[in-house]
Amino acid sequence: MTQAHEAPAQGAAPESLLAAAGLACFRGDRLLFQDLDLSVAAGQSLQIRGPNGCGKTTLLRILCGLTTPENGTIRWRGRALGPRDPDYLRDLRYIGHNDGVKLVLSPRENLRMAMALESGADEAALTRALARLGLSGFMDVACRTLSAGQRRRVALARLTLGDARLWLLDEPFTALDSAATKAVHMLIEEHLDGGGCAVLTSHQPVRIDAAKSTSLDLGA
Amino acid sequence: MTANGARHAFVTLLKRDLLLAARNRGELINPLLFYIIVATLFPLGVTSDPATLATMAAGVLWIAALLATLLSLDSLFRSDFDDGSLELILLSPHSSIVLVLAKVLAHWLVTGMPLLIVTPLLAMLMAVPEDARATLWLTLALGTPVLSLVGAIGVALTVGLRRGGALLSLLVLPLYVPVLIFGANAVGASAAGLPVTGQLYMLSAFLVLALSLAPLATAAALRISID
């Protein structure tokens, strides 16, 4: 398997970071997808497309290990992943449907928690991360008083903390205004240029340089 | 480095949960209020005769503490489950067992500890014999952490269900019974002037067992609930 995987690396194609083969998933007794293969190379983004309910979120959850697939294997840098691989988790940043933001805490307190859980960034990086998403004036107010879009930005600010190479983004642009959407696009582009990779779902148009993006269509 | 990171995550999560509790003070007061109300209404409703009260006091206080803990359990993982923080916790490269332990410790500090603080006062109100008061306090000090730890397994299993409340009681109560029996029995024995080391050792053993195994089971149950 490893040989088969490394073979394409001989050509011009860049190193494949994340690869999945033969994924299958049921929700209840409904088959969402089967024999699904995907591969994302360093510096590439993969957009998962499809109508509502076709399993985009489930696929992302499978990729980060929250949901166990019926079948199939996931490889990270050529190594098959077991359950809860700490090295993989350290390399991964997942922004789910829910923001994971505590409403009675301030954005700063929320990020401090996220930082302790997933990366070792310092306080200065935290301030910078919030500033990049336009939350400079709101760092110390309770998230309860922020709008849905601002809460989404608090969640997205986690992306710039630490140096995770794989971003899994579930509808990152939901509730964001055009300035914030642009800021997040820039974050993703920078991440890809730095050798990272990203898998995302979005119903909004995604404007990432075509050379850096591929897509995958899930049938309904 | 990773051990340091895990310790930092443990402390940060513990602090965050305490901060959350401090900002939701209503939730914090609830189990304590329940405990106090049961202990104050009992003499009014049953009898104010100290001799009769003394025979029931240990059992009543223990049952009230047990139910107060049961009432507070649902909040342990509910908000984290609803707002997505639980996914963040389970996706952390640090051991989920350590993180679960931080959450349970915060839960005990917020619900179990206040019960311990008011217990001496309520013991007087319930006419617990003087010799048995220390034993009552000690059994609760050993027993309430077990209630939180074991309860966490039940909550972790039912947090994904919409109406998990009744199921939670069914799952958890049988496991609470031994703690209740040894706790209440020790107080009775000590009031009768009998040695209670056996019961205290038993409760300590429960605590060690729960401390070492419950976080493991809780972390596994959370992973099932979130699947």
B94 secondary structure, DSSP code: S
pLDDT of residue A14: 62
Please write the tens of the pLDDT for every residue from B60-79.
999 999 999 999 998 899 98
Verify that A8 and A67 share a domain, yes or no.
Answer: yes
- DSSP for A52-78, written as a single string: TTSSHHHHHHHHHTSS--SEEEEEETT
B8/A94 CB distance under 8 A: no
Q: Is B181 helix (H, G, I), strand (E, B) or coil?
A: helix
Is the ipTM reported for this complex over the cut 0.95? no
Cβ contacts of A174 within 8 Å, gap of 6 or more: A152, A204
A97 assigned to some structural domain = no
- Say yes or no: A46 and A155 in one domain: no
Would you state the pLDDT for residue A75? 93
Checking if the pLDDT of B1 tops 50, the result is no
Locate A219 and state its tokens: 């049938």
Per DSSP, the three-state class of B210 is helix
Are residues A182 and A130 both part of a single domain? no
**Is the alpha carbon torsion for B22, B23, B27, B30 positive or negative?**
positive
Q: Do A147 and A197 belong together in one domain?
A: no
Instruction: Name the amino acid, one letter, at A151.
Output: R
- Picking from B12, B19, B91, the nearest residue to A116 by CB comes out as B12
Is the model's pLDDT at A3 over the cut of 70?
no
Domain presence at residue A52: yes
The reply to whether A25 and A118 lie within a common domain is no
Cβ atoms A134, A183 nearer than 8 A: yes
Residue A96 is assigned to a structural domain of this protein: no
Residues A6 and A87 occupy one common structural domain: yes
Domain containing residue A117: 102-163
The verdict on residue A119 lying in a domain is yes
Mean pLDDT, residues A183-203: 92
- Pick among B85, B222, B225 to test the A interface (most A CBs inside 10 A): B85
A27 and A85, same domain (yes or no) = yes
pLDDT tens for A45-87 read 999 998 888 889 999 999 999 999 999 999 999 899 888 888 8
Phi and psi of B179, rounded to 5°? -60, -45
Q: Are residues A149 and A40 in the same domain?
A: no
CA distances from A73 to A58, A78, B1, B227 (A): 15, 11, 30, 17
Q: CB-based contact (8 Å) between A127 and chain B?
A: no
**CA angle B64-B65-B69, nearest 5°?**
115
Percent over 70 (pLDDT), chain A: 92
φ/ψ (deg, to 5) at B213:
-105, -35
Q: Is A86 in the same domain as A7?
A: yes
Residues A174 and A191 in one domain: yes
Q: Which residues of B touch A148 (CB under 8 A)?
A: none
Check CB contact under 8 Å for A100 and B88.
yes
In this prediction the pTM is 0.91
Size of interface A-B (CB pairs under 8 A): 76
Q: Does residue A17 sit in the same domain as residue A81? A: yes
Tell me what the mean pLDDT of segment B43-70 comes to: 91
* Segment B145-165 mean pLDDT: 92
On whether both A191 and A208 belong to a single domain, the answer is yes
- The pLDDT tens digits of the residues spanning B102-145 come to 999 999 999 999 999 999 999 998 889 888 999 999 999 999 99
Which residues in chain B touch residue A67, judged by CB atoms under 8 angstroms apart? 227
> B159 pLDDT band (50/70/90 cuts)?
very high
Whether residue A102 and residue B85 make contact (CB cut-off 8 A), yes or no, is yes
